[in-house]
């Protein structure tokens, strides 16, 4: 593949829902069953602390400790976290081979990075499993102390890779995150399926 582009220098990928399956709903249902409470309660509590956990201000262990105290659940935080991480590993082993192929093609001529909102413990699993090795750079919310869709995290990505936002093509399966990238001047694309994504990317980067 030859790339002839005077504009796009970096392609930045979201992970969940693009490179790997989106596991949020699966984990919510699994933990609800394990804790013997409703998925709505798990989702509501997790959402309350989402910013803190994905910005690295609170670990999942601390979140589950708070949940157990508040709901008076008969579990230890360590056991609950262990179950969460074991289930995450089980459902996140599949990597989208077609998207990985695109990443490998792009890396021949362009910078390729990932930008993901994640928690400390999940980030460590992904590092160990080599998920971030597909990319030249991995931008993790817990490392940066920022998260999508906040403007500052996109600006930090552009600063770190040393180019203008307009020279970055950003792909995510969440429209709010895509719009935030567009608002800072990046090319944003809402991922739905790999074929449409490849066609859109080919138009922007003129891949032949």
pLDDT digits over 60-78, tens only?
999 999 999 999 999 999 9
pLDDT at 202: 83
Torsion angle defined by CA atoms of residues 100, 17, 164 and 50, in that order, rounded to the nearest 10 degrees: -140
> Phi/psi at 138 (nearest 5 deg)?
-120, 120
- Side-chain-facing half-sphere of 92: CA atoms under 13 Å: 26
**Fold annotation for 10-22+95-205:** Rossmann fold (3.40.50)
pLDDT above 80: residue 201 = yes
At residue 4 the predicted structure's pLDDT band, cuts being 50, 70 and 90, is very low
User: How many residues belong to the chain?
Assistant: 208
pTM of the shown model: 0.91
Binning the chain into helix, strand and coil, the percentages to the nearest 5 are 55, 15, 30
Q: Pairing relation of β-strands 137-140 and 168-172?
A: unpaired
Q: Percent of the chain having pLDDT more than 70? A: 96
**Count of C-beta atoms within a 10 Å radius of residue 180:** 20
Beta bridge partners of 137: 113
Average pLDDT over residues 179-203: 93
At residue 191 the predicted structure's pLDDT band, cuts being 50, 70 and 90, is very high
Contact 58, 67 (CB under 8 A): no
């Amino acid at each position: 593949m030859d790339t002839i582009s005077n504009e796009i220098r970096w392609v930045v990928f979201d992970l969940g829902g693009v490179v790997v399956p989106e596991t949020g709903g699966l984990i919510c249902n699994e933990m609800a069953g394990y804790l013997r409470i409703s998925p709505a309660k798990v989702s509501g509590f997790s959402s309350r602390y989402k910013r803190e956990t994905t910005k690295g201000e609170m670990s999942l262990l601390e979140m589950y400790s708070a949940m157990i105290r508040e709901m008076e659940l008969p579990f230890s935080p360590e056991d609950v976290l262990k179950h969460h991480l074991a289930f995450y590993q089980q459902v996140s082993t599949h990597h989208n081979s077609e998207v990985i192929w695109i990443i490998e093609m792009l890396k021949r001529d362009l910078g390729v990075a990932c930008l993901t909102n994640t928690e400390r413990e999940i980030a460590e699993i992904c590092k160990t499993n080599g998920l971030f090795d597909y990319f030249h750079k991995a931008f993790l919310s817990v490392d940066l102390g920022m998260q999508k869709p906040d403007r500052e995290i996109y600006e930090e990505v552009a600063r770190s890779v040393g180019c203008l936002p307009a020279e970055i093509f950003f792909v995510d399966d969440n429209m709010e995150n895509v719009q935030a990238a567009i608002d800072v001047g990046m090319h944003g694309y809402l991922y739905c399926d790999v074929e449409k994504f490849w066609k859109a990317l080919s138009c922007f980067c003129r891949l032949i």
